[in-house]
Structure 1
Amino acid sequence: MKLALITDIHANREAFEACLEQAHLHGADRLALLGDFVGYGADPGWVVERVQDLVAQGAIAVRGNHDEAVVKMATSNLVEDARRAVQWTRDALAPGHLAFLGSLPYRNELGSSLFVHANAWAPEGWEYILSRSEAVRSMMATDCRHTFAGHVHQPALYHLSSTGKIADFTPVPGVAVPVPAHRQWLALPGSCGQPRDGNPAACWAMFDDSRHTLTFHRVPYHHEATAAKIMAAGLPRQLAERLHEGT
C-alpha cells in the first residue's frame, strides 16, 4: 500500500490541493493527515470540509495543536500572530467544523505504523521533536516500527537500531529511502501549508509499506495567491510574508 503523508496544512487551500494532486499522480492508495488543519491561513472552512470528506473515504487523521486551540481557545502557548489567527479561525468556522476538529484523536495506528501530530511519548502535550534526544524519546515510547509526525515544519528522518544507536539525516526530495522494519523510524514530512526550511514549496511524503521505502516530495504552488488571501482576511501580515520565503 502507498500511503501519502500530509501535515500542517494550516488552512492553505492551494498547498493542500497541490499535495493531494501529486499524491494521486504518484499512486497513493490512502492518506494520513497529521494535524494542524487550521491556523495561519485564510481557508479553514474549505480545508476542514475537505479533510472530513477524505476521512469519510478512509483517510487517517489526527489532531494538531492549532486544531485544539481553535476548538478550546487554548492559546497560552502560542505567539501573538498565532493567537490572532486562532480567534479569526474560530469565528470563521461553523459548529460542525469545530465538532469535527474536536473529535479527532491524538494518535492513530495502522499495522506497525503510528501517526501523531507532535510526538509518541505525549501526543497531547505538543512538545516538539527538534533533535536526536526527542526523536529517541518518541521512538522508545512505542513498539511501532514507523512513526509519522508533524508539528515541525521542516522535513527530517531519524532511525534507531536494535542496539539503541540513533542517526538522522535531511532527506532529498524525490529520492526513495529504504526504511526496513528491523530498525525503528521516525519521519517528519514537513509542512504542507507553511514550510519553514527556506523553500516555499509544499511538503508531503509517500510511504510504501510493501517495499518499505519512504519518499519525501516538494510541490510548488501558487503561494502568492495564498498570501493575498491572508492579507485580504485581515490576518497578520507576517503570516502572508513568510510564505514567500518558506520561513
Structure 2
Amino acid sequence: MKLALITDLHANREAVQAVLDHAKAAGAQRYAFLGDYVGYGADPGWVIDTVREYVAAGAIAVNGNHDAGCVQDISPNMRPEARQVVEWTRAQLNPEQLAFLAERPMSHTEGDMLFVHANAFAPAEWEYIQGRIEAVRSLHATTCHYTFCGHMHEPKLFHLSGTGKAGDFVPTPGVPIPVPPHRQWLIVPGSAGQPRDGNPAACYAMFDLREQTLSFQRVPYDHELAAAKIRAAGLPERLADRLAHGQ
C-alpha cells in the first residue's frame, strides 16, 4: 500500500489540489493529513471540506496548532498578525467545519505507525522538532518504528538505531529511501501549503508499506494565484509574499 503523507496545508487550495493530484497519479491508495488545515491562506473552508471527504473515505487526519487556535480561546500572547488570521479564518468557517477541527485527535496510532502534528513526547504543547535532540526525544516517547509529523515546514528525515545511534538528513525529492523497521524513523514531509526551505514548490511524502521505502516529493503550483487570494482577503501582505520564495 502507498500512503500519502500531507501536512501544514494552511488553507492553500492551489497547493493542496496540486499535491492531491500528484499523489493520485503516483498511486496513493490512502492518505494521512498531519494537521494545520487552516491559517495563513485564503481558502480554509475548501481545504477543510476536502480533508473531510478524504476522512470519510478512510483517511487519517490529526489536529494541528492552527486548527486548535480556531476552536479555542485566542491566546493573549499571540502576535497581532496571527490573531488577525485566526479571527478572519473563524469568520469564514461554518459550524460543521469548526466541528471537524474540534474533533481531530492529537495523534493516531495504527500498527507500527504514529501520526501526530508536532511531536510524540508532548503533542499538545506544540514543540518543534528542530534537530536530533528533539527527534530522539520524540522517538523515545513511542514504540512505533515510524513516526510521521508536521509543524516544521521543511522536509527532513531522522532515524534511531537499536544501539541509540541517531542520524538525520535532508532528502532529495523523488528518490526512494529504504526505511527498514530495524530502526526507528521520524518523517517530516514538509509543508504542502507554505514551504519554508527556499523552494516554493509544495511538499508531501509517500510511504510504500510493502517496499518499505519513503519518497519526498515537490510539486509546483500556482503560488501567484494563492498569493493574490491572500491579498484580496485583506490578510497580511507578508503571508502572500512568502509563497513565492518558499520562506
In structure 2, the partner of 1:93 is: 93
Indicate how the Cα distance of structure 1 residues 43 and 246 shifts in structure 2: closer, same or farther if over 3 A, else same: same
Instruction: Show CA shifts across 1:131-181 (max 9, x none).
Output: 100000000000000000000000000000001110000000000000000
On the 8 A contact 1:68/1:74 being kept in 2, the answer is no
> How many residues are matched?
247
Task: Give, as a single letter, the amino acid of the residue that structure 2 aligns with 1:6.
Answer: I
In structure 2, the partner of 1:22 is: 22
Instruction: Show CA shifts across 1:37-87 (max 9, x none).
Output: 000100001111111111000000000000000111334464332221111
Task: Give, as a single letter, the amino acid of the residue that structure 1 aligns with 2:108.
Answer: N
- CA separation in 2, counterparts of 1:147 and 1:77? 30
Q: For structure 1, which runs of at least 5 residues remain unmatched after alignment?
A: none
Task: Give, as a single letter, the amino acid of the residue that structure 1 aligns with 2:200.
Answer: P
Counterparts of 1:43-62 in structure 2, within 5 Å, are 43-62=43-62
In structure 1, the partner of 2:66 is: 66
On the 8 A contact 1:44/1:92 being kept in 2, the answer is yes
Task: Give, as a single letter, the amino acid of the residue that structure 1 aligns with 2:176.
Answer: A
- SS class of match (2:158): strand
Q: CA RMSD in A?
A: 0.8
Q: For structure 2, which runs of at least 5 residues remain unmatched after alignment?
A: none
Task: Give, as a single letter, the amino acid of the residue that structure 1 aligns with 2:213.
Answer: T
Task: Give, as a single letter, the amino acid of the residue that structure 2 aligns with 1:10.
Answer: H
Identical aligned pairs, as a percentage?
62
- CA separation in 2, counterparts of 1:75 and 1:85? 13
TM norm structure 2: 0.98
- CA separation in 1, counterparts of 2:150 and 2:137? 16
In structure 2, the partner of 1:167 is: 167
- CA separation in 1, counterparts of 2:239 and 2:23? 26
TM norm structure 1: 0.98
On the 8 A contact 1:73/1:86 being kept in 2, the answer is no
Indicate how the Cα distance of structure 1 residues 76 and 199 shifts in structure 2: closer, same or farther if over 3 A, else same: farther
